[in-house]
Amino acid sequence: MRRTERLGLVAAIMALLAWSGTGCTVIPPTGPVTLNDISAGDPLGKPFQRLIPIGPRPEWGIEDTIRGLQAAMAAYPDDSSVVLEYLTPTARATWSPAGPVTVIDDAFTVALPAPGDGSEIVQTVTLKGSSVATIKEDDSYVPAAGQWERPYELVKAKDGGYRVNALPQGLLLTSSDVERAYRSTNLYYLNRSTEDRLVVDRVRLRMKPGERFAQTVLERLLKPPTEALKDAVSTSFPIGTTIESVTSGEERVVINLSGPLDPLDLSAEDAVRAQIRYTLNNNDVAKGRTIELQVDGEQYSVDRPGSDEHWLDDSGDSAYYVSQGAIRYLGKDTSGAYVPGAAGEPRGGYSKFALSKESTALVAAVTSTGISMAPLTQGGRWQEVIHGEKLTAPTWHRDGSVWTYDRDADVLLRYDPAAGRGPQRVSAPKLDGLDVTRLRIARDGVRVAVTTGKNTVQVGALTGEGPGLVLGNLQLLTTTEVGFEITDVAWADDEHLLVLAQSKDGQILNEINVGDGETVGVPLKDRLESVTALDDRVLAAATTEKGTKILELNQDRQTWTPQIDSNAGTPLFPLG
């Protein structure tokens, strides 16, 4: 379990405790109650508490009625009838639960109208709180911030209580509601351009009473990805594929599919198996068990623990660093040795180095006139491949091409060494007119992190192929606080981006999940110049009185250990 997942579990428990303590303000002693619908011991399930709501009571005032309505909204997908009890016929005819789910902080307030003479037929109140997020209809979780408020109109009921006569569209949930009933879930699709690599798509899925979480996850996997990956990924499941059943024994999970899967198409079988395996295993469902896939009850494929892991291959894990313009190895047996060729020769005028995947062994760097490239081989020489005086640092795609953004011409450029021609323009309409300062392609070959100006990070995706290639789907990931300037970004893995920011008072290093914005701060002691990462390994260049040293973040994610004490520069990982 990743560190961030452990933190998320603790937060969920604390939120549940907070919810159970605050719900008593509007609920009589008999309700609502919570029931364990899914046992923690179910290998295909996830434990959660189901909320049983109650309808409005004659003795309730305006605030109790509003809070009861909100609690009923939290349980709406399990029991849709109770919410309607709070609404007048007029509200029932106009209100719809469809659309994005609004999530606010638990500590919302109900601003009551000024006391009247008791003759008022209609009372208008305002719910006020802090925005937390929106859960969109594609199940993506989008963090939000700032103050939130919405008006609700109530009328006196014949029984002496109140009913809601007008309210905003959609469901309103609190943070605790989401922690109780939703689970962060990683879905795995195929890289659209090569279909040889999986791409993770993070969603929030609601638990369904009576249904194992494994089945909930797999049914969502059969649907299209979120908007962030639209047209950037594909799936191995033919249209019409359905999940008939999911069962398990002590060592085996059996998934019975139905649909037009071809048992003779071995490449599709491998991809189907990979999408299911990684989706289940990386959500701690069915982990360590053999997964048997069936089609209409007949065996289709068997996936055993420890199967080939090439679907998440990151194309090399060797570490390097730059010293006096030359690239050196960073390893137990080779630390300090120069790489072969011109890239291993000390020289000035080269900066912002980037390495391709190890199988192609190429390095790119910025010079005063453009971007040059050199193979890490004996006799390898530097060659300028992209000309320009204001180019962002190069970044490599897993297909072997090197990318940069020409800030003078306001254009995205891609150079493919195998194509035998100069750099090609790539459409990026959402970047037009923006001050693009950095570009980093993730190792999955799909997602792209873009920094604009001094303090904004957006994440997009590469869609289309060939001449139709586009950098699109751009969404805001983070904006630093006032006074901070982003100094470096690096992909840690397919779903986490490291963002290093500097102010006059110090630095911050955040690890941000690009799927849902979850942010974890990394403690710093030394002043960092740059950062690079690969899965759980994080390297950084730090400034000292003796020059620059290389640090590595320890497994506790709290402390750093020196790897090179002096005369070192930027650390590098392949495709970093």
Considering the chain, what percentage of its residues have pLDDT values greater than 70?
Answer: 91
Q: How confident is the model at residue 37 (pLDDT cuts 50, 70, 90)?
A: low
State residue 543's pLDDT score.
Answer: 86
Minimal CA–CA distance to 169: which of 236, 92, 223, 239?
A: 92
DSSP 470-513: EEEEEEEEEEPPTT-EEEEEEESSSSEEEEEEEETTEEEEEEEE
- For the cut 50, the answer to whether the pLDDT of residue 468 exceeds it is yes
Q: Are 128 and 148 in contact (CB under 8 A)?
A: yes
For position 317, what pLDDT does the model report?
Answer: 81
Q: Which of 30-44, 132-146, 406-420 has the lowest mean pLDDT?
A: 30-44
Longest dimension (CA), the chain: 93
- pLDDT reading at 23 higher than 70: no
Q: How confident is the model at residue 455 (pLDDT cuts 50, 70, 90)?
A: very high
Say what percent of the chain tops pLDDT 90: 73
The predicted structure's pLDDT at residue 300:
93
Burial status of residue 410 (CB atoms within 10 A of its CB: 0-12, 13-18, 19 or more): middle
Spell out a b/e string for 547-562, using b for 16 or more CB atoms within 10 Å of the CB, else e. Answer: ebbbbbbeeebeebee
pTM of the model: 0.89
Query: What is the fold of 314-572?
Result: Neuraminidase (2.120.10)
Other residues' Cβ atoms within 10 Å of the Cβ of residue 328: 22
Question: Could you tell me the end-to-end alpha-carbon distance of the chain, in angstroms, rounded to an integer?
Answer: 23
Candidate from 110-119, 120-129, 390-399, 421-430 with smallest mean pLDDT: 110-119
Distance CA 176, CA 278 (A): 28
pLDDT band at 546 (very low <50, low <70, confident <90, very high): confident
Residue 360 has pLDDT above 60, yes or no: yes
User: pLDDT value at position 282?
Assistant: 84
Predicted confidence (pLDDT) per residue in 80-119, tens digit:
999 999 999 999 999 999 999 999 999 999 998 877 655 5
Which helix (H) or strand (E) segment is 71 a member of?
helix 62-74
Residue 33 has a pLDDT of 42
> 516: pLDDT confidence band, cut at 50, 70 and 90?
very high
The pLDDT value recorded for residue 24 is 32
CA nearest neighbour of 214 among 176, 185, 191: 185
Return the SS3 of 304: coil
Nearest by Cα to 143 from 487, 485, 493, 475 = 475
Residue 38's pLDDT is 52
**In whole angstroms, what is the distance from residue 92 CA to residue 480 CA?**
43
pLDDT at 119: 54
**Average pLDDT for the chain:** 89
Amino acid at 143: P
> In this predicted structure, what is the pLDDT of residue 27?
44
DSSP, collapsed to helix, strand or coil, labels residue 221 as helix
182 in Cβ contact with 207 (< 8 Å): yes
Which 3 state secondary structure label does DSSP give 81? helix
Report, as an integer, the average pLDDT of 337-346: 95
Structural domain boundaries of the chain? 3-181, 183-311, 314-572
Tens of pLDDT, residue by residue over 201-250, are 999 999 988 888 999 999 999 999 999 999 999 999 999 999 999 998 87
Residues 398 and 367: beta-carbon distance below 8 Å: no
Mean pLDDT, residues 59-75: 94
pLDDT for the residue 26:
41
CA of residue 244 relative to chain centroid, distance? 29
Residue that has been written with the tokens 């004659």 in this structure: 58
C-beta of residue 484 within 8 angstroms of C-beta of residue 451: no
Question: What would the DSSP string read from start to end of 232-279?
Answer: TEE-SSPTT-EEEEEEE-SSEEEEEEESS--TT-HHHHHHHHHHHHHH
CA distance 341 to 381: 6
pLDDT at 567: 81
Region 161-186 average pLDDT:
95
Rounded to whole angstroms, the Cα distance separating 486 from 457 reads 9
Residue 45 has pLDDT above 80, yes or no: no
Mean pLDDT of 326-352: 92
